Amino acid sequence: MKRYTKLFLCFVVFGVTLPNAQEYDRKPFEVTAENDMPDEHPKRVPTENRTADETKMTGNALGGFLTPKLKIGGYGKLVYRYSDAGDIRHSFAPRFAFVSLNGQLNEQFDYFGLFSFIGEPVFELWLQWKPLDAFSIRIGQQKTPLTFESMISPTVLESINNSRVLSNLCGMAGDVGVNNAGGRDVGVTLYGDLFKQQEHFLLHYALGIFQGTGVNMGDNNNKKDVVASLIVQPLYGLRFGYGIYRGTGHYAVGNHPAADHTRNRQALSADFKTGRLSTRAEWMTGKDGDADKEGVSVLAQWKFIPDEFDAFVRWDYYDNDKKNNVRAVDYTIGCSYYFAKMCRFELNYIFSCFSENRIAGRNSNQALAQIQIVF
């Protein structure tokens, strides 16, 4: 693993040497979360004081419902997938179909709900109290603040799929012992931004207590999971983060009855955005029962035509059981063309290499095309 640690450190050094950043998220926990797609939170301006332009359709909300206390939006994704692994090589299906409700009850309280027509009916549903930048509380079903990528909405994620390590260790798709739905769970999170600089905050913290079972499920043991993260932003656009998760999963392994198993995670993250360039690197480890897991993801994106056309490359490494060498390496390239605000057509190609103990060491190719509509 030393070579991957060196790769991660090289990426960090590369980020530090870049010029000063522009166009970057000032509040990392809020801005990249699912509820903070552009223009989704209304400005705190009384309806009777709004101008004509302010009452028109903006971002992903319907203008007729644009009020401080209620705003309706949503998004949908249709994906075509070709894979040379498996019996079914061609597939086309709706992937996401969400409707969101959010609003500000007063100057300190706001709420958010994200409801799906595909799969789990409720993805997010929470109430938030924000008396200060330095101290806020969010209670309900929400994302667990562990890594940078896990907090990014699919509407702005560079790739069609999340990285393999995030999918398996952050409750995205392949995680064990939880009802997976985009890294969400029921719990309480305390978070805040400290040490205001000219254009950003120097520190961001988050501390959460979660049920540990994923979305729309009651608890299945007498233990609660704890997550904590700290983000340092020394320069406008340059961030370093550390996240740690300590929990217990309750599930069956093989022919054994369901029992409690260790479910621990930790992550180191770094990203940098400046002008047209965006870069991100994350290293994660996990422990599920007796299985030790580890992975690295490195991504770079270039905006050839801002708000119209961009492209990215990504490299992922993931070992699902280090003792038994169950490894996979993914090489991904892709691009996005925006035909309207937040609406895009995406193309991705993924070449995957597997160890002998994972899918018999076969390599595979995937091509994906996706249409995203945000309203």
Task: Evaluate if residue 27 carries a pLDDT over 70.
Answer: no
- Write down the mean pLDDT value for the chain: 84
Q: Of 217 and 356, which is predicted with more confidence?
A: 217
Rounded Cα distance between 57 and 244, Å, is 40
54-58, 180-184, 218-222, 286-290: least confident range = 54-58
| Domain containing residue 111: CATH number | 2.40.160.10
Task: Give the pair of three-digit tokens for residue 337.
Answer: 């063309």
pLDDT the model gives residue 65: 60
Residue 49 — pLDDT band, cuts 50, 70, 90? very low
**Contact, 286 vs 169, CB < 8 A?**
yes
Convert the chain into a string of H (helix), E (strand) and C (coil): CHHHHHHHHHHHHHHHHCCCCCCCCCCHHHHCCHHHCCCCCCCCCCHHHCCCHHHCCCCCECHHHCECCEEEEEEEEEEEEEECCCCCCEEEEEEEEEEEEEEECCCCEEEEEEEECCCCCEEEEEEEEEEECCEEEEEEEEECCCCCHHHCCCCCCCCCCCCHHHHHHCCCCCCCCCECCCCEEEEEEEEEEEEECCCCEEEEEEEEEECCCECCCCCCCCCCEEEEEEEEEEECCEEEEEEEEEEEEEECCCCCCCEEEEEEEEEEEEEEEECCEEEEEEEEEEEECCEEEEEEEEEEEEEEECCCEEEEEEEEEEECCCCCCCEEEEEEEEEEEEEECCEEEEEEEEEEEECCCCHHHCCEEEEEEEEEEEC
What is the average pLDDT across 329-347?
A: 97
For the chain, the domain total comes to 1
pLDDT the model gives residue 60: 47
What is the average pLDDT across 69-88?
A: 91
pLDDT the model gives residue 53: 34
What is the average pLDDT across 69-74?
A: 91
What is the average pLDDT across 65-83?
A: 89
Say which amino acid occupies 81. Answer: R
The answer to whether residue 59 sits within a structural domain is no
Residue 129 — pLDDT band, cuts 50, 70, 90? very high
The answer to whether residue 58 sits within a structural domain is no
The answer to whether residue 159 sits within a structural domain is yes
Task: Evaluate if residue 171 carries a pLDDT over 80.
Answer: yes
Q: Output phi, psi for 240, to 5 deg.
A: -130, 135
pLDDT the model gives residue 359: 66
pLDDT the model gives residue 11: 42
Length of the chain: 375
pLDDT in tens, 101-128: 999 999 999 999 999 999 899 999 999 9
The answer to whether residue 50 sits within a structural domain is no
Q: Of 284 and 250, which is predicted with more confidence?
A: 284
Residue 255 — pLDDT band, cuts 50, 70, 90? confident
Contacts of 369 (CB under 8 A, 6+ apart): 79, 80, 345, 346, 347, 348
What is the average pLDDT across 86-90?
A: 85
138, exposed or middle or buried, with CB in 10 Å at 0-12, 13-18, 19+? buried
Q: Could you tell me the pTM of the whole model?
A: 0.81
The answer to whether residue 54 sits within a structural domain is no
pLDDT the model gives residue 358: 66
The answer to whether residue 53 sits within a structural domain is no
Task: Evaluate if residue 45 carries a pLDDT over 50.
Answer: no
Task: Give the pair of three-digit tokens for residue 290.
Answer: 């007796």
pLDDT the model gives residue 95: 93
Task: Evaluate if residue 151 carries a pLDDT over 90.
Answer: yes
| Residue 369 belongs to domain spanning | 2-44+64-374
Whose CA is closest to 144, among 172, 109, 118, 114?
172
Task: Evaluate if residue 307 carries a pLDDT over 70.
Answer: yes
Task: Evaluate if residue 226 carries a pLDDT over 60.
Answer: yes
Q: Output phi, psi for 47, to 5 deg.
A: -55, -40
Whose CA is closest to 172, among 139, 190, 146, 191?
146
Whose tokens are 């690295």? That residue is 296
The answer to whether residue 234 sits within a structural domain is yes
Q: Which residues of 347-367 are buried (b: 16+ CB within 10 A; e: fewer)?
A: bbebebebbeebeeeeebebe
The answer to whether residue 364 sits within a structural domain is yes
Q: Of 6 and 329, which is predicted with more confidence?
A: 329
